[in-house]
Amino acid sequence: MHCCIATMKQCNKIYYNRMPELPEVETIVRQLNKKVKSLKITKVWFDYPKLLKGEINQQNFKEIVEGKTILKVAREGKNIIFHLSGGWSLIIHLKLTGRILVGNDDFIAEDPYVHFKMELSDGIYLALSDLRKFAKIILEKTEKIKTLEEIKKLGLEPLAKDFTFEAFDEALAKKRSGKIKNILMDQSVVSGIGNIYANEILWKAKVSPFKDIKLLSLKEKREIYEAIKKILQEAIKLRGSTINDEMYRDIKGEMGGYGKLLKAYHQEKCARCGTPIKRTLEKGRATFYCERCQN
């Protein structure tokens, strides 16, 4: 397997806080709908029950989930939601190093970090691999998922029709002040944007990541809004970004293609003006920007 376990220490430093964002999770959800929709869950297996959060214990989890059918797979922010028959929903958040794998037994067995696995009808397995075991699994009644803390707090969904400029502007206004990059990554404002895409969006919009939102002009806010839509859509088309840690994979174990198109995140020179990209580190999270283009 390709992961960087031998250099974990280095990984912790450099890629701390790198997690799948909207384009990666959306890619996984679309693929899951093609592969596992309407399949029945015949067996559930865990070797690290701590991944299971919420009120339902491992034994009850098995009893509820086994025998259910996957009706459809959806996304809320960075959460993957399996809607099951019988009015139940299974929510998975991949956190830093989680991966969903779908395939036959041999394919799943190749991954040494599988800690949760479901056998489905048709001899297909759906597994959760997680090197660092921060991923989260929650089983909840479908009617109650909107009340879960993880879902309730989510702000605007950038792929939804109601993500208009007016709605975005209003969500910013509610925050009053704060650095624009931090605000973009705040899941209660816009959901699904993390460190990679926040850097890319601000590079495209030519706005400094450190600019306070109360100082943004109308034009800058419009540029940021347009960049959110454009970049997320382009990244989804290429099945998300796998960067040089090679951590993110889709459900077939393949890398995303958008990593090669990144313009700021871990880049050396600005693709617009050639100025070296500046990098600053705050609480383990790196910000990349062009001092000349982004004001």
Nearer to Zn ion (CB atom), residue 173 or residue 273 = 273
Return the residue of 8, 109, 261, 273 that touches Zn ion, per CB under 5 A: 273
Cα atoms found within 13 Å of the Cα of residue 167, Cβ hemisphere only = 13
Return the residue of 53, 229, 272, 278 that touches Zn ion, per CB under 5 A: 272
Nearer to Zn ion (CB atom), residue 172 or residue 293 = 293
Least spacing, CB of residue 286 vs Zn ion, in Å: 18
Catalytic residue among 18, 21, 181, 239: 21
- 270 lines the binding site for Zn ion (CB under 5 A): yes
- 227 lines the binding site for Zn ion (CB under 5 A): no
- 20 carries an active-site annotation: yes
Structure-token match 């839509």, residue found:
229
- 292 lines the binding site for Zn ion (CB under 5 A): yes
- 206 lines the binding site for Zn ion (CB under 5 A): no
Nearer to Zn ion (CB atom), residue 40 or residue 292 = 292
- Enumerate long-range contacts of 249-252, CB under 8 Å, 24 or more apart: 249/99, 249/101, 250/24, 250/27, 250/28, 250/31, 251/28, 251/31, 251/32, 251/35, 251/100, 251/101, 251/102, 252/31, 252/102, 252/103
Size of the site for Zn ion (CB under 5 A): 7
DSSP lists the bridge partners of residue 179 as 212
- 21 carries an active-site annotation: yes
Name the nearest CA neighbour of 126 among 54, 73, 202. 73
- 229 lines the binding site for Zn ion (CB under 5 A): no
Tokens at 104, concatenated: 């036959």
Closest chain position to Zn ion (CB): 270
Q: Determine the Cα–Cα distance for residues 205 and 218; give it in Å rounded to an integer.
A: 12
Name the nearest CA neighbour of 19 among 115, 98, 73, 92. 98
Q: Determine the Cα–Cα distance for residues 254 and 67; give it in Å rounded to an integer.
A: 30
* AA identity, residue 236: I
Nearer to Zn ion (CB atom), residue 251 or residue 293 = 293
- 290 lines the binding site for Zn ion (CB under 5 A): yes
- 293 lines the binding site for Zn ion (CB under 5 A): yes
Nearer to Zn ion (CB atom), residue 180 or residue 270 = 270
- 112 carries an active-site annotation: no
Burial string for 49-75 (b: 16+ CB within 10 Å, else e) reads eebbeeebeeeebeebbeebbbbebbb
Tokens at 188, concatenated: 């209660």
The stretch near Zn ion (CB under 5 A) out of 92-100, 168-176, 218-226, 271-279 is 271-279
Catalytic residue among 18, 35, 75, 78: 78
Least spacing, CB of residue 292 vs Zn ion, in Å: 5
- 158 carries an active-site annotation: no
- 127 lines the binding site for Zn ion (CB under 5 A): no
Q: Determine the Cα–Cα distance for residues 192 and 169; give it in Å rounded to an integer.
A: 17
Catalytic residues: 20-21, 78, 285
The residue ranges that bind Zn ion (CB under 5 A) are 270, 272-273, 275, 290, 292-293
